[in-house]
Amino acid sequence: MSPLDFAAVESVKPALGRLKDRVALVTGVARPRGVGAAIARLFAREGAAVCVTDMVPEVRARAAEIEAAGGRALAIEADLTKWPAVEKMTAGIIASLGRIDILVNVAGKSVPPRPAFSDMSLEYFDMVMDRNLRTAVHCCKAVLPEMLGRNYGKIVNIGSTTGVVGVYRHCAAYAASKGALTAFGKALALEVGVHNINVNTIMPSDIDTGDAPWKPGDPARDLGLYAAHLAPAIPRPVRSEEVAELALFLAGDESRAVTGASYLIDAGVTLVEGMVSGPQ
């Protein structure tokens, strides 16, 4: 993201230091307009030291941008489906920064191709489950011992509307992985609440991350194409920065009594009866 775009995000609200002195680990932070990058930038603006991780090297550019904007960031390239890599990553963060206060599990797989179930290979199913569920389970397992030892922790999982409602055809594997992630978060919240650790899930609908058929800055196209196949109450896609604002609430102390919750952020798309199917 260019410094200009960073300023656009900053213009939403002045930074209030809501994560001052916190150490956050955010996964899935390679793509400039992705959800992970938006969360990492906002958390850094709010005072957190942000460890950003992804399986692709572009994550280093995201950390460099945060540092250039005056934040603190550490980039780690790791395939989070591999337990030894996750163990090594968290041990390294704790050794250099002392602790991990906040974990945001963003890493996942949401983009096409989405095969019909009858055409879907079992290898595809395993890959989607690994990327969306196993990555988060690994990260939770790795950070929890240290959080439990300090009786403090905030875990935020990025699920999806597809984990609770149909929305699209041809997303059985993705829906299964995201539904499981939401259920996992609730069960984990029940176990760790006594240790002052909150676990919550954000369930977005389509997010404008640059891959969608609409083009930002073209309102007619936005409304036409988006409304044509999804018809949300608020006729536009959700933006990565808006998901980040909700993640900030759940990572901050204002949400201390909130745990095991699952929040839709979907512009009201799941309110609408008789949705027309998206592109097949």
Ligand X SMILES: NC(=O)c1ccc[n+]([C@@H]2O[C@H](COP(=O)([O-])OP(=O)(O)OC[C@H]3O[C@@H](n4cnc5c(N)ncnc54)[C@H](O)[C@@H]3O)[C@@H](O)[C@H]2O)c1
Least distance (Å) between residue 212 CB and ligand X: 7
Least distance (Å) between residue 124 CB and ligand X: 14
CB of 58 or CB of 67, closer to ligand X = 58
CB of 26 or CB of 144, closer to ligand X = 26
Return the range that interacts with ligand X (CB under 6 A); candidates 6-14, 31-39, 87-95, 186-194: 31-39
| 160 is an interface residue for ligand X by CB under 6 A | yes
Return the range that interacts with ligand X (CB under 6 A); candidates 23-31, 138-146, 188-196, 250-258: 23-31
Least distance (Å) between residue 185 CB and ligand X: 13
Q: Which of 124, 152, 168, 174 is catalytic?
A: 174
Contact (CB, 8 A) for 173 and 129: yes
CB of 153 or CB of 163, closer to ligand X = 163
CB of 44 or CB of 265, closer to ligand X = 265
Contact (CB, 8 A) for 157 and 136: yes
* CA distance linking residue 157 with residue 198, whole number of Å: 11
Q: Which residue is nearest to ligand X (CB)?
A: 108
| 230 is an interface residue for ligand X by CB under 6 A | no
| 158 is an interface residue for ligand X by CB under 6 A | yes
Instruction: Give exposure, 143-157, as e/b (b: 16+ Cβ within 10 Å).
Output: bbebbbeeebbbbbb
Comparing C-alpha atoms, which of 209, 213, 210, 99 is closest to residue 152? 99
Q: Which helix (H) or strand (E) segment is 217 a member of?
A: none
**Total binding residues toward ligand X, as defined by CB under 6 A:** 27
Q: Which two tokens stand for residue 134?
A: 């196993």
| 245 is an interface residue for ligand X by CB under 6 A | no
User: CA 17 from chain center: how many Å?
Assistant: 21
CB of 64 or CB of 253, closer to ligand X = 64
| 270 is an interface residue for ligand X by CB under 6 A | no
* CA distance linking residue 151 with residue 43, whole number of Å: 21
CB of 148 or CB of 180, closer to ligand X = 180
| 241 is an interface residue for ligand X by CB under 6 A | no
| 239 is an interface residue for ligand X by CB under 6 A | no
174 is catalytic: yes
Task: Concatenate the DSSP letters of all residues of 72-141 into one string.
Answer: EEEEEE--TTSHHHHHHHHHHHHHHHS---EEEE-----PSP---GGG--HHHHHHHHIIIIIHHHHHHH
Residues 67-86 that bind ligand X (CB under 6 A): 79-81
Let me know the angle formed at the C-alpha of 221 by 218 and 223, rounded to the nearest 5 degrees. Answer: 105
- Measured in Å, how far apart are the chain's first and last C-alpha atoms? 31
Q: Interface residues with ligand X (CB under 6 A)?
A: 28, 30-31, 34-36, 54-56, 79-81, 106-111, 131-132, 135, 158, 160, 204, 206-207, 209
The residues annotated as belonging to the active site are 174
